[in-house]
Amino acid sequence: MQVKRNIGYLLAYLSMGLGVVGLTFNGWFTFLLPIYAFIVIPLLELALPFSEENLSKEEEEKLLRNKIYDWVVYLIVPAQWGLLVLFLFSVQEKLEFYELIGRVITFGLACGVFGINVAHELGHRTKKYEQWMSKALLLTSQYMHFFIEHNRGHHKNVSTEYDPATSRYGEVVYTFWFRSMIMGYLSAWKLEIFKLNKQGRGKFHWKNEMVFYIFCQAGLLTLILLLFNWQTMVMYWISAIIGILLLETVNYIEHYGLKRHKSESGMFKKVLPVHSWNSNHSLGRGILFELSRHSDHHFRANRKYQILRHFEESPQMPTGYPGMIVLALFPPLWFYIMNKRVRNLQKENSALIAAVV
């Protein structure tokens, strides 16, 4: 079991290796990572079996003591920054237009999969150096406010109308992108100002992390402009946007159409495994560090990725995250497959949801 999990998580480094190839070689090699991520992996996950197996308490404790699972995500930080440097130099070459597009998309995927997804894992950790690693990764994707909004906003308001990152039944992913990005950013400001007010500080106090993030992100863009040129800065910025849209598409599929109800007191009931879409498809689980076992992540946000569990009552996606991301980009097909699943879940889980205060 432990050996299989180690190998599974090393698939993330295979993805990074394909990214290096795409940023080093020319021709259609520049599209190697996008082809792998959105064609090869979805097709394999349709064919390969998935696992609902959970660890025993003893196995969980053993994996938590094994520091290799921490180092697997820690090493993503220098690797992602290395990819950024490689990308910046790679676009200085004389390239065909399609090769340039391939390299921009390739680094964009790295921004989403490594720059934001691994930051998401580290951002839930309690140690300060792990949280700084999270912010360092988010900086490469120009999305540092995610650290505030996700941890203090999304996890509190998930599957309610107050959460920008929860997609609504019948909502198209393309309109969701704008709603989630804009409202999520505003929410991060509100959360940070609320925290400062409680501390008796002004909204633009030097401890306002949102102001700090603006300086960090603007500073990185300026540094790229000074060291290279404005075209390189724009290409980097486009890659960051691709990474952000990848994250927001993941947000879209994770809670689509799921709602938490209110108790008689008017408060929202606790978050349950039924409030997040889950996937047990092994390839996506390994590449994304168990992000697809999302039900347990929201049920117990402090659980590390290697011990996340499957719940029988959690709604299951028909395939893994890579395939679901592709499906979401075709709204008529998405609605045809997912809307009936949402309606069935509402019927099946109404009694369970109503029983929890």
pLDDT over 80 (residue 349): no
Average pLDDT over residues 10-23: 93
Q: What is the pTM of this model?
A: 0.93
For 267-325, how does the pLDDT look when each residue is reduced to its tens digit (9 = 90+)? 888 888 888 999 998 888 888 989 888 888 988 888 999 989 998 888 999 999 999 99
Q: CA 256, CA 248: separation in Å to the nearest integer?
A: 12
What are the residue ranges of helices labelled H in the chain? 2-24, 32-35, 41-47, 57-65, 68-74, 76-90, 97-110, 117-123, 128-140, 146-148, 155-157, 173-198, 209-227, 230-254, 282-287, 294-299, 321-328, 331-354
For 213-227, how does the pLDDT look when each residue is reduced to its tens digit (9 = 90+)? 999 999 999 999 999
Name the token pair of 17.
């290796």
3-state secondary structure of 206: coil
CB-based burial of residue 123 (10 Å sphere; 0-12 exposed, 13-18 middle, 19+ buried)?
buried
Structural domains in the chain (count): 1
Q: Tell me which H or E stretch contains 200.
A: none
List, in order, residues 6 or more apart from 245 with CB less than 8 Å away: 112, 177
Q: CA 44, CA 25: separation in Å to the nearest integer?
A: 25
Q: CA 83, CA 16: separation in Å to the nearest integer?
A: 8
Range of the domain at 209: 2-354
